């Protein structure tokens, strides 16, 4: 009788922990999805070829264990393609986007 009770307790514990782990995995998967979605929105926000969405997505997938949105404001300079940025500045961006980029550059350089 004791042995059966112990076995049932162990099975119950394993079942409870697997349910909790599944909920944790689903929550993490949702956060990774939100991070990837934010990268896609940043690519759409900036002009074609300016924002490096692949680099942002790799960073999201690299942080699967502790997922978070990497670039919520689409301003982190390391996610911009420097060659495309230089070309766009030479050719000419829309004035509002140019002001937005330079404000991000100035803000990043102050830290």
Confidence of residue 35 (pLDDT cuts 50, 70, 90): very high
Taking residues 2-7, report their average pLDDT. 58
Does 38 score more than 80 pLDDT? yes
Confidence of residue 59 (pLDDT cuts 50, 70, 90): very high
- 87: its two tokens: 């070309």
49: left (phi over 0), alpha (psi -120 to 50) or beta: left
The 8 Å CB, 24+ separation contacts for 29-33 are 31/67, 31/68, 32/60, 32/61, 32/64, 32/67
Does 90 score more than 70 pLDDT? no
Lowest mean pLDDT among 12-16, 43-47, 52-56: 12-16
Q: What are the CA-CA distances from residue 48 to residues 18, 20, 58, 68 (Å)? A: 44, 42, 19, 25
């Amino acid at each position: 009788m004791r042995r059966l009770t112990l076995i049932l307790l162990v099975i119950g514990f394993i079942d409870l922990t697997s349910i909790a782990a599944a909920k944790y995995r689903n929550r993490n998967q949702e956060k990774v999805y939100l991070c990837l979605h934010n990268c896609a929105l940043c690519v759409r926000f900036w002009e074609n070829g300016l924002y490096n969405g692949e680099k942002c997505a790799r960073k999201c997938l690299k942080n699967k264990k502790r997922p978070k949105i990497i670039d919520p404001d689409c301003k982190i300079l390391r996610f911009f393609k420097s060659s495309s940025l230089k070309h766009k500045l030479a050719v000419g961006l829309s004035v509002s986007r140019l002001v937005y980029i330079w404000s991000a550059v100035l803000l990043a350089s102050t830290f």
